Amino acid sequence: MIEWISSFKEVTVVFPLDDLQVGTMQALLVTPSLAVVYADGRAFVDKVEPSQFFGGKYYEFVADPAWKIEEVAYEDEYELVDMANELALKIAEEEEPEMVSY
């Protein structure tokens, strides 16, 4: 049985603003390539990968036209972590259903 504890790796996701500037957002890494990105009471799940430009210290978004981004609102960090836990559980149910019990 998988026990979900709220201990996701916190990462910084970088993205280009223009030719000279980069923006950053905080995220909870749910799997090595999926993160819950959040800011100002809004969160979304997106594909990410370690940024080669920054030597893997930061993450960057992975462009995938087939990926549907769903945005949700959250009130506090507990609700955000609950959302990340739900996503992790959903992924586990799809990838390793025998490991999940209720």
Looking at every residue in the chain, the average pLDDT score rounds to 84
3-state secondary structure 28-63: EEEECCEEEEEECCEEEEEEEEECCCCCCCCEEECC
Q: What is the pLDDT of residues 40-82, one digit of tens each?
A: 889 999 999 999 998 999 999 998 888 888 888 888 888 888 8
> What is the per-residue pLDDT for 48?
94
∠ CA 37-38-40 to the nearest 5 degrees?
160
Higher pLDDT: 13 or 5? It is 13
Boundaries of every domain in the chain: 1-101
Q: Using pLDDT thresholds of 50, 70 and 90, give the confidence band for residue 88.
A: confident
> What is the per-residue pLDDT for 3?
47
Q: Using pLDDT thresholds of 50, 70 and 90, give the confidence band for residue 1.
A: very low
